[in-house]
Structure 1
Amino acid sequence: MKRLFTLLAATLLLAAPLSAQQRYTTRSASIDFFSDAPLEDISAKNTQVTAAIDLLSQQMAFVATMKEFVFPDGLMQAHFNENFVESEKYPRATFSGRLLGIPESGMPTAGIVPVEVEGDLTIHGVKRRVKVPGTLEFIDKQLVAKAKFSVAPADYKIDIPSLIKEHIAKTVDITVYAVCAPQIAPPVSQQQATPPARP
């Protein structure tokens, strides 16, 4: 997980100048999903989601390990991992995209800012372009990101047996919540220095 977090942060933030107050990260964001069903509602929660947000480049990324989704029922969790999302073959879901709606003057230090995030959502090995509404807000110097949207399992080639498919909704409601702390830039002595010009 540590290596995954490092790779995510590096990939997202390489293009932006170092600024400790512009980059925010967490390894404990949460993703909940819920599907209304006549027989039994389906719900699960993952509280070990890695997230990185760069306000300067207005980029953000999330990585969720599928086996970290916890269900109220163990049998349901086993079916989810083995039969539906095939967690051994497709261990992670990822999102990488761009923030839309941040004021030109920059992210305000007070108040909720409505935003949209447009980017690539990959689940079950299938990548799709999505546009998701959400909010950003500073609370105690941490950046709080929230989003709620729906996905259709069929769009990601998740095969649900016909007997079960008849009793569940065609879409799943997704709720994302991330409290990201500022990423501290390394000391100047550790940053890559520009080599002097040759005479």
Structure 2
Amino acid sequence: MKHLILLMLCLPLALGATAQDVYASRNVSLSFFSKAPMEDIDAKTTQCVSAINIKTGAVYFKVAVNTFQFKKSLMQEHFNENYLETHKFPNAEFKGKLLDLPDLTKPGTYTVTVEGTLDMHGVKKTYREKGTLTVAVGSIAVSSTFKVRVADHNIKIPRLVVKNIAEVVDVTVSGKYAPAK
């Protein structure tokens, strides 16, 4: 709930828009997959908050990193304590903008490019990635898959387990947005 309040307080300033220009979601799905020789690792959360300004193209995502759920509890513990250090870096946040903004007031499916900064594990890095927006009356659906190099965010993998974790992780985002109230 505190993430939603923060999002709603920041969005009018950050996005400079009226409510009907902003679409928001409190349950965007984020997942990641690490393919490695010893063991595949995947995790998912549906607790990401996000907003899109359909007039300016501004986009925002924020997730509490410790909400990712793993198939094995030991993996989840190591992820939170050793790799992402969620006690020091509790959230991951992306702020960006849709490039070549289509007219999102018209229903349709649009391939878009978003560029922005991912702040994760205390390291900010710029990304430019493709995604799909599907606009319907009263809603927007978002989907994208992109790659994150763990070293780019200063996430250290001990030599002992280096074969268990891939250097590059596939991240998938999907969500359904409604006009912010």
Q: Percent identity?
A: 39
The residue that corresponds to 1:194 in the other structure is: none
Which has the higher Rg, Structure 1 or Structure 2? 1
Task: Measure the CA separation in 1 of the matches of 2:93 and 2:19.
Answer: 25
Deviation at 1:149, TM superposition (A): 0.3
Are 1:79 and 2:78 counterparts?
Answer: yes
TM-score, L = length of structure 2: 0.93
Task: Measure the CA separation in 1 of the matches of 2:17 and 2:164.
Answer: 51
The residue that corresponds to 1:152 in the other structure is: 149
Deviation at 1:74, TM superposition (A): 0.2
- How large is the RMSD of aligned CA atoms in angstroms? 1.4
**Cα pair 1:102 1:113 within 8 Å, conserved:** no
Give the SS at the match of 1:112.
strand
The residue that corresponds to 2:91 in the other structure is: 92
The residue that corresponds to 2:114 in the other structure is: 117
Deviation at 1:3, TM superposition (A): 2.8
Letter in 1 for 2:125: R
The residue that corresponds to 2:16 in the other structure is: 16
Letter in 2 for 1:112: T
Deviation at 1:56, TM superposition (A): 1.3
Q: Which runs of 5+ in 2 are unaligned?
A: none
**Cα pair 1:25 1:181 within 8 Å, conserved:** yes
Task: Measure the CA separation in 2 of the matches of 1:7 and 1:167.
Answer: 36
Q: How many residues align?
A: 180
**Cα pair 2:37 2:164 within 8 Å, conserved:** yes
Deviation at 1:164, TM superposition (A): 1.2
The residue that corresponds to 2:126 in the other structure is: 129
**Per-residue displacement from partner, 1:12-63 (whole Å, max 9, x unpaired)?**
332524142x211111001010011122100000111000111112101000
**Cα pair 1:101 1:114 within 8 Å, conserved:** no
**Cα pair 2:25 2:50 within 8 Å, conserved:** yes
TM-score, L = length of structure 1: 0.85
Task: Measure the CA separation in 2 of the matches of 1:17 and 1:166.
Answer: 47
After TM superposition, the runs of 4+ consecutive aligned structure 1 residues lying more than 6 A away are none
